[in-house]
Structure 1
Amino acid sequence: RIGQNKVNSSASQVFSHVKIGNLVAGLSGGVVSTLVLHPLDLVKIRFAVSDGLMLRPKYSGIMHCMKSVWQQEGLRGLYQGVTPNVWGAGASWGLYFLFYNAIKGYIKEGRQTELSATEHLVSAAQAGIITLSITNPIWVTKTRLVLQYNADPSGKQYKGMLDALVKIYRHEGVPGLYKGYVPGLFGTSHGALQFMAYEELKRDYNKYRKNALEYVTMAALSKIFAVATTYPYQVVRARLQDQHNRYNGVMDVIGRTWRNEGAIGFYKGIIPNLIRVTPACCITFVVYENVSRLLLEQNK
């Protein structure tokens, strides 16, 4: 009973640090960056799952992929899966910043000192796990919509985000909506490393005048660091969520990818990913910092 009361007390203390401004600012950043850069996300996922299946289109590079999709389906094709991507990115960034700042506030309560790099890492990891648990079904629908090909004999299986959610739940149940959750949990280390690096860089820059260029630089460096260290989990997650192939879990994906494609298989799509995520992260952080500052000034 006493233990339960302590848990409830801790939870209420964390929620006392929740600020809706962080949710709004993070959501704004996620939506803007996704709308601008979704075509590169589509390219990244198509490369990540390229395992030799005949029905998959063959691309020689990023520009060839984008040109092929454009020629076959126009702008609409390049923005296939954008609805769940906007929902997912908006919700993920919004919730991530909301929980991350609440957890940081709870840890820092009553302290005069700044959080350490380890505390930033732990706060970001906890925020990532909570956020992923809420948003994973959205990411599954995004992957399914992005991987609908003209050459697929079954045709366009899903008409949109809601149709995909309903059909996945109907045919595969809750486990279908949580495909890729385990590698996604590993991916929280990606976000944690990124936020740790960002906070440390930001702390070093706080002695100087803050401007958009500094935030862009800090966000880009932190994102490149995170992507370079954790990218293979994105390939594993995309393959688990792919409707054209069936795997018996994470270890099956890893084993088959290694046997058939070697180490390079785990880095398929990393170049379009780096081209996409670096500006995406910069846009997100710049929008977040400016929107949050604007909201803070209005509340004074």
Structure 2
Amino acid sequence: MKESLVHGLSGSLSAIIATLFLHPLDTIRIRMQSTHSKTTLRLFLKELRTNGNLMSLYSGFISSIISTATSQGVYFLVYKAMQVFLSKGKRGLTVLDDLIVSVIASFITILVNTPIWTVNTRLMKSEKEESISSCFSSIIKHEGIQGLFKGMGTSLVLILNPVIQFVTYEHMKRRFKQKKLNAGVYFIFGALTKFIATMVTYPFLTLRTRVQLEDQKTLSFVDALKDILENEGASALYNGLLTKVLQAVLNSAIVLASHEHLTKILCLLCLTKKIRVAAK
């Protein structure tokens, strides 16, 4: 259990590091998915004209930190716990084991984090400052508890994203196990596997964003899809794709490279503490 907690903690810390640098890109992606805007540059220029700076792109930053740290922490904790459980009595895990581990970790992460993601999405879409608590209260007041879980159905479809990524990631790690892997290699592995997963699942991410941003009524996955296809065309499903690919690929690369490195450091600290306790 302690090993799983170490992985959960390193996952949270890695997510915080990535979010510090990449939050503006995710804000732009949210705004592009919620409007007809097609280019990242247009949104950057709009922010400069309106505010004279790009600070509004950090709307929902605290919520984003909480969201990413919680989701990555839960994911890595459950992921490692399941790996340990399935590896008992085995020499190593198979691709099927990786698939099972990733699906279970993704499902639990979505269940725990959907309310946080909904609040975070609303805050990033807004160009005015709003606190997490006021946004949370507003959703409860006007939409009820179910308002916090908008987009959960689409999120369950998006389980495909981490499943594709982590099954591929674990396969690549095993494939090159005999070679010395450093942070740079993990960075490349994380970037490549996330790129593949994002390209496959991006339209579902757009649909989830539309569902979560609808505060007047409950919009279903199918309704959101029909609305986009009828009024904007299929290409709208890919609004903000370039920004998301850039953000997701860099985020994943930073998170996985940092996670591998931080896990080693935390394990070493735990070992040092054990030795000191034993010495006493």
TM normalised by structure 1 equals 0.85
Q: Percent identity?
A: 27
Query: More deviation in 66-75 or 158-167?
Result: 66-75
Q: Partner residue of 2:258?
A: 287
Superposition deviation, residue 234 in structure 1: 0.6
Q: Is the 8 A contact 1:17 1:105 kept in 2?
A: no
- C-alpha displacement at 1:243, in angstroms? 4.1
Q: Distance in 1 between matches of 2:28 and 2:82?
A: 35
2:46 partner letter: S
Select 1:76's aligned residue among 55, 75, 90.
Answer: 55
CA distance in 1, matches of 2:219, 2:114: 18
Match of 2:239 among 244, 268, 271: 268
Q: 1:233 to 1:17 in 2, by over 3 A?
A: farther
Higher helix share: 2
Amino acid at match of 1:141: V
Q: Aligned residue for 2:10?
A: 25
CA contact (8 A) 1:44 1:273 kept: yes
Partner of 1:193: 164
Q: How does 1:127-166 map to 2 (within 5 A)?
A: 127-149=105-127, 156=128, 159-166=130-137
- Note closer, same or farther for the CA distance 1:225–1:213 as it changes in structure 2 (3 Å cut): same
Q: Return the alpha-carbon distance in structure 2 between the equivalents of residues 245 and 221 of structure 1.
A: 39
The equivalent position to 1:126 in structure 2, one of 83, 94, 104, is 104
Normalised by the size of structure 2, how large is the TM-score?
0.91
Question: Is the CA contact (8 Å cut-off) linking 1:247 and 1:253 kept in structure 2?
Answer: no
Unaligned runs of 5+ in 1: 1-15, 52-58, 150-155
**Structure 1 pair 290/218, CA: closer, same or farther in 2 (3 Å)?**
same
- Report if the CA contact (8 A) 2:34-2:210 is conserved: yes
**1:299 is the counterpart of 2:270:** yes
**1:216-255 alignment runs, 5 A limit:** 216-243=187-214, 246=217, 248-255=219-226
Give 1:148's aligned amino acid. Answer: S
> 1:61: how far off?
1.8
Cα drift, residue 18 of structure 1? 6.1
The 3-state SS of whatever aligns with 2:59 is coil
Q: CA deviation at 1:78?
A: 1.2
**Whole-Å Cα distance in 1 between the matches of residues 216 and 203 of structure 2?**
18
> Greater CA deviation, 243-252 or 115-124?
243-252
Distance 1:162 1:134, change over 3 A: same
Residue in structure 2 matched with residue 44 of structure 1 by the alignment? 29
Give the drift of 1:64: 2.3
Provide the C-alpha distance between the structure 2 equivalents of 1:76 and 1:160, rounded to a whole number of angstroms.
16
Q: Which residue of 1 aligns with 2:275?
A: none
How far apart, CA to CA, are the structure 2 residues paired with 1:92 and 1:234?
Answer: 16
Describe the superposition over 1:259-296 as per-residue Cα deviations: whole angstroms up to 9, x where unpaired: 22222121111110011111111111111111101111
